Amino acid sequence: MQTYDPKKDATDVRQASPRKMNLRVLVTSMVAIVVLFAIIFIVYSTMQPQPA
């Protein structure tokens, strides 16, 4: 991996790696989906009548 490129200007140097942002979005989305399904499961299980 090259750390210095004389052809890049100041804006290009400041750009972050898009992979880290993609990972952040993926992890946040997965956590949100798991929490949403857990809430739905808890609500569904509490609405069930008690077995006789």
* Separation between Cα atoms, residue 29 and residue 23, nearest integer Å: 10
The residue whose two tokens read 């790696």 is 17
Confidence grade of residue 49 (pLDDT, cut at 50, 70, 90): confident
**What is residue 44's predicted lDDT score, i.e. its pLDDT?**
95
| Structure tokens given for 7 | 């052809």
pTM of the model: 0.56
| Structure tokens given for 25 | 């979005």
Any idea of the CA torsion for 20, 7, 10, 25, to the nearest 10 degrees? -10
* Separation between Cα atoms, residue 41 and residue 38, nearest integer Å: 5
> What digits encode the pLDDT tens for the residues 33-46?
999 999 999 999 99
> What digits encode the pLDDT tens for the residues 7-24?
777 777 766 665 667 788
